[in-house]
Amino acid sequence: MNVSQDMELENKELILSKKFYKKLANERDKRKRELIVNKMKSFEIILLKSKSKSDIPKAIWIRRIVGTNIYKFRVNSGDRILFQYIEGEDENRILFLDFCNHDSQIRTAKNQVLCMSTVGLEIDDKYEYKEDDFDKEIDEEINNDIYGRLETLKQNSVIEDEYICVSIDEGDMEFLSFEQYECISNRNKQSDLILGCAGSGKTVVAIRKLILNKEENLKSIYITCSNMIVDRVKNLYYRFIEKDNMTSFYTLRNLCFEIIGLKNPIIIEYKDFYEWFFNYALVKEYTNKVDVREIWIEIFSLIKGTAGKKQNSKELEGIISEDEYYNSEESHHDLKTRKIIYRIARIYQYWLKNNKYYDDNDLAMLSLKKITSKYKYDYVIYDEIQDLTELQLNFIYSIARNVNNIMLIGDIDQSINISKLNLDFLKNMTYGSNLKLSEKFIIKNYRNGSETINWINAFKQIKFSKFKSMGKNFEQEEEYIKEGTKPKIIYNVKNQIKILSNVDEDVNSIIIVPDESDKKELEDMGYTLGRVFSVEDVRGLEYDNIYCYNILSKFNYIWEKVLSTNSKLEDIYRIYFNMVYIAVTRAKNKVVFIEKTTPVLDSVLEKHWDKVDYESEIAMNTDKMKIKPWYKGFMLGTKSSVQENEFDEDTSKAPEPESFKESAVASIGGFVGALISGGLVGGILGIEKVDEWSQEAEKLEKTENYYQAAYAYKKAGRQADAQRCLREHEVKLSYEVNIQN
């Protein structure tokens, strides 16, 4: 900083809170008042001139109040100045909050709403003064203020579980359960790991924590995996907060894009890996040796997901070395299989590199190299942590100024891209700073009905008995709040299309299959895939009715192994339980299993579901299937087969609502508003569903389920939007690889 900049700083007016200004104006001792002002000016100049914490003179005695972003500046033995370091658009300044002494009531300026973001100062112990009783008194008053806010929240917003269900049904997320409240009332200033079952309201906890952070003037960030969840959380947050530039909302990918400087890159997920695997001749030969999903998990979570902490390949950035992998205790495969998987990993990484594709580990690694102070936060919340690799977790911790101020939220029973969340890694991240990770569990499920949860608990008990325990808290049964009916199961289905076709007309129902191969199977039978989702596709979604196609019997070979052994299984097999769990817990009302063969697990779970005669169900729904849908002629194919001319209507613009209604009425031949109910599928066809299909399409587009979004847009009469989503879905991948040796 040059002389002119020094003079500019000296001539700037101090920024004082109203409370501070009033106290200073009322100071009768003029000499003392001038002394305080001069000290404040000198203090601000020195602090803003310092490029790093080592530049701060030892004589400047400052200390952060634990758990806040408020600092104390020691004027003398009896006086303290409370301040915040704030970041403006053009410059950084000091906001002086309060002046405290032994003769006055100690209160803070925590209720002030700042127009600028507060940032943290990193102060070494050698620059901090030794605290006396007066300092402790200040800290206690400030923390009492925080706890007072929690008590007010508890009195005004915590209600009984039954009323929580009602508020959720009405779309009102204003209230908290006692379980949820306990998750944000951490008074020990520890980082939080909050693990909750599906439908437990984990995201509501995040929203309430963000609101409390705003009241404490903390620069906070909420991160999750989906644009749909980000939009939902942001909208709910702004029901409570009118104006705020201190809280940021991102998907993890979008945050990485911004830090790295990437625009619209192609991101590779499991389903893209699956397509590449079966389209590239060099890796097809391994198909029968190792399950494709297990290969993906080994590469994603271990070979790439630990690249930040282990010795990397000298030849190829982004993967660990062969020796590291072959000697790893984290893999359950034998050496011969590891060599096959590592070979595939190398080819995969070259494929990404050659085509400038990225996966989520690549984004985390690149972001770690480019984090600046702009992306440092007082408080970090990550929602849906269960599929993060160690490399991604390392990135999350790296954007937090203080590892005490992190809240990680997730459900370990929904992890399918890694075999198991690495709790030891999380604990080491905090223990390394002489801190402790606070673990909290939410077991009340507000989404699924009683009989569905009984089925879930029976299913999870099999899982708990077959794997090494993670601790009793991780094996608690889920509790239901609302009543519900038993899941249904149809065995040995011969004409599944007749059953599944009913779902096409119901915006409140979907079909879930294990993976992409099952979609292809249905497509080969001539089935339209507009309401068919893989397990990968449905996380974060929920529907009244869920139809699980072949999701149990497909894994009969896994269940046979599970039931036949008395030994503890390798963690990789958890994913098969988790895939089923994700599918079933999407249902708010009804769950139906449609199985090609009898599931091996039937002998264990038979009392928890009702067996259904599918012939009688088809007969019951025959009349429904005779109704011609108004979108006649609309068919969708797979990612590789969708054609622009599949839409025979004018796609230049979506029809006006009235003209759409006329065509809809004509198309369904007078069945306007017909009520179709009973049997396995219920739903209302007709023009009343236009808005629902439109909302459904927008939701699916945000989750990047472009194919299904196109189908829903078509049902809503929004042709141009349907075409746009089809183009997104049709993004072509190059499957060739140029391997450099």
Q: What is the DSSP string of 315-369?
A: SSTTSB-HHHHHT-SS--S-HHHHHHHHHHHHHHHHHHHHHT-B-HHHHHHHHHH
Task: State yes or no: 619 annotated in a binding site.
Answer: no
Q: Is 171 assigned to a binding site?
A: no
Domains of the chain are: 15-114 (3.30.2310.20), 179-263+373-445 (3.40.50.300), 266-355 (no CATH), 450-623 (3.40.50.300), 689-740 (no CATH)
CA distance 154 to 178: 8
Is 197 labelled as part of a ligand binding site? yes
203 labeled binding residue: yes
Phi, psi torsion values for 190, nearest 5 degrees: -110, 160
pLDDT at 311: 65
Residue 192 to residue 190: CA distance in whole angstroms: 6
For residue 616, the model assigns a pLDDT of: 56
Q: Decide: helix, strand or coil at residue 391.
A: helix
Residue 321 phi, psi (nearest 5): -70, 160
406-410 vs 379-383, strand pairing mode = parallel
Write the pLDDT tens digit of every residue in 601-660: 999 999 999 998 765 555 444 444 333 333 333 333 334 334 444 444 443 344 444 443
Nearest-10 crossing angle of helices 690-702, 657-667: 110
Answer yes or no: is 201 a known binding residue: yes
Predicted TM-score (pTM) of the model is: 0.76
- pLDDT of residue 239 exceeding 60: yes
More confident call, 99 vs 590: 590
- How far apart (Å, rounded) are the C-alpha atoms in residues 137 and 145? 13
> Which whole-number Å values give the CA distances from 561 to 85, 466, 627, in the listed order?
59, 10, 45
Among 84-93, 248-257, 492-501, which is the least confidently predicted range? 84-93
pLDDT of residue 240: 87
Residue 134 has pLDDT above 70, yes or no: no
Q: What pLDDT is attached to residue 371?
A: 94
In the predicted model, what is the mean pLDDT of residues 583-594? 96
Report residue 637 as tokens: 């194919």
Q: Annotated binding residue at 199?
A: yes
Amino acid at 307: A
Work out the average pLDDT over 351-357: 93
Mean pLDDT of the region 354-383:
95
Say if CB 481 and CB 165 are below 8 A apart: yes
Terminal Cα distance for the chain, rounded = 50
76: nearest Cα among 13, 18, 22, 129: 129
- The pLDDT of residue 76: 64
Instruction: List, in order, residues 6 or more apart from 108 with CB less than 8 Å away.
Output: 70, 82, 97, 98, 141, 142, 145
Identify the residue with better confidence: 418 or 670.
418
Cα–Cα distances in angstroms (integers) from residue 368 to residues 251, 302, 364, 398, 521, in the given order: 16, 18, 6, 7, 41
Residue 60 has what pLDDT?
Answer: 59
3-class DSSP state of 93:
strand
B/e letters for 436-468, b = 16+ CB within 10 Å, e = fewer, are ebbbbbbebbbbbbbbbbbbbbbbbebbbebbe
Q: What's the whole-number mean pLDDT along residues 352-376?
A: 94
pLDDT given for residue 586 in this prediction:
97
Tens-digit pLDDT profile for residues 26-63: 777 777 777 778 777 777 777 776 655 555 555 556 77
What's the pLDDT tens digit per position in 385-431? 999 999 999 999 999 998 889 999 999 999 999 878 888 888 887 76
